[in-house]
Amino acid sequence: MNAEFIEALKEIVKEKGISEDLLFDTVEDALVSAYKKNYAKVGGNLQNVKVTINRENGELHVYTQRKVVEEPTNINEISLEEARRVNPKYQLEDTVDLEATPKSFGRIAAQTAKQVVIQRIKEAERKVIYNEFISKEYDIITGTVIRKDKGNVFVDLEKIEAVLGPNEQMPGEEYNFNDKLKLYIVEVKNTTKGPQIVVSRTHPGLVKRLFELEVPEIYTGIVEIKSIAREAGSRSKIAVHSNDETVDATGACVGPKGMRVQNIVTELKNEKIDIIKWDKLPEKYIANALSPAKVLDVEIDEQNKVAKIVVEDNQLSLAIGKEGQNVRLAAKLTGWKIDIKTQSQVAQ
């Protein structure tokens, strides 16, 4: 090791944000292992060894370590008499460091150090990427489609690739090379192979964050998103509430000339979005959730969390929705089981 190598190590410390002490300690530990592998066996016994590197000039020393005892019984012990020939101050139970640097150790040391440094750089870079993305968990990020394989879509997030799995892809949405996508970061995992970013286009959190970005009143907390129910690529219902009586929650989300909600609909490839007014009274909240159908009456069973709904005969299909979607989303949004009947059915 030479001064140039030490300078190079210190540059790496600065650039990659690695702890200097940790890097040098790791290199020294690796050199101990390298020495033991190549030199430390004496008569079948393995010597205790330590390695030191001068952090200014790169000077390298290997020492065998021996414990001071009255009568040595193995290679890792030394008599008090012999120890005091090295230094008269040694006492029993002290550890004596004896210089044992082999002339040919430099090449092995350089190669070992290089491998350790490369590994540390990889670990440091992975840590930096993990820390950056863990702070973006449950947030939106823009990525670029780079390839497709076995149903998975691989997306470039600049510093790392993310995989958009089949279950996280919106039905009917095409993903072509170089397409820009807004993605919701569901989870950031720290694996042995480095950070793994799980992204989604179907998660309800994507709708929530899009509204937070598009609607200033939500971002500032004046308007609050209470609940979201989503069937990705088809329809979402979002329940909102205003914490300021002078601000209309649904109006704020729709925006001037419907521009705010339209921007979100466009991003979600024309997914329909129902903006529902939240209410602390379950009857009103459930009636609102069945929009666009008009509800005549709501009877609730608190204990079983069941709501019995009455609508006009011509509103039944609208309340239920195509293939039951409207009532299904309303139930998911409110957390209530919903049973719908018409006036005629009730009369009978």
Yes or no: say if 264 and 255 are a contact pair by the CB < 8 Å rule.
no
Last residue of a domain, one of 227, 247, 278: 278
Same domain, 232 and 289: no
Question: Are residue 47 and residue 126 in the same domain, yes or no?
Answer: yes
CA distances from residue 182 to 209, 221, 272 in whole angstroms, order as listed: 11, 23, 18
Segment 302-334, tens digit of pLDDT: 999 999 999 999 999 999 999 999 999 999 999
Tell which of 133, 158, 183 closes a domain. Answer: 133
Q: Say yes or no to pLDDT of 157 above 80.
A: yes
pLDDT at residue 45 greater than cutoff 70: no
Higher pLDDT, 25 or 95: 95
10 Å CB burial of residue 331 (0-12, 13-18, 19+) is: buried
Average model confidence (pLDDT) for the chain? 91
For 101-115, what is each residue's pLDDT tens digit?
A: 888 787 777 788 778
Q: What is the mean pLDDT of residues 88-96?
A: 95
> For residue 58, what pLDDT band results from cuts at 50, 70 and 90?
confident
On the question of pLDDT at 179 being above 70, the answer is yes
Residues 75 and 28 placed together within one structural domain of the fold: yes
Chain centre distance of CA 159? 14
CATH of the domain at 145: 2.40.50.140
Domain that holds residue 163: 138-200
The pLDDT-based confidence of 40 (bands split at 50, 70, 90) is: low
Contact by Cβ (8 Å): 31, 51:
yes
Of 108, 133, 158, which marks where a domain is finished?
A: 133
Same domain, yes or no: 196 and 214 = no
In this prediction, residues 28-39 reach a mean pLDDT of: 84
Length of the chain: 348
**Pair (316, 293) in one structural domain:** yes
241 and 324 fall within a common domain? no
Largest CA distance in the chain: 112
One domain for residues 154 and 234 = no
Q: Which of 33-42, 180-189, 283-292 is predicted least confidently?
A: 33-42
Residue 55 confidence (pLDDT) above 90: no
Residue 302: which CATH number? 3.30.300.20
- Looking at the structure of the chain, the number of domains it has is 4
Inter-residue contact 249 to 222 (CB < 8 Å): no
30 and 127 part of one domain: yes
Q: DSSP character for 48?
A: P
Identify whether residues 293 and 266 lie together within a single domain.
no
The pTM of this model reads 0.73
pLDDT of residue 166: 95
Instruction: Please tell me whether residues 291 and 251 are part of one structural domain.
Output: no
Percentage above 90 pLDDT, the chain: 69
Residue 142 burial (CB < 10 Å; 0-12/13-18/19+)? Answer: exposed
Q: Are residues 232 and 300 in the same domain?
A: no
Kindly state the average pLDDT of the residues 237-265: 97
Are 181 and 252 found together in one domain?
no
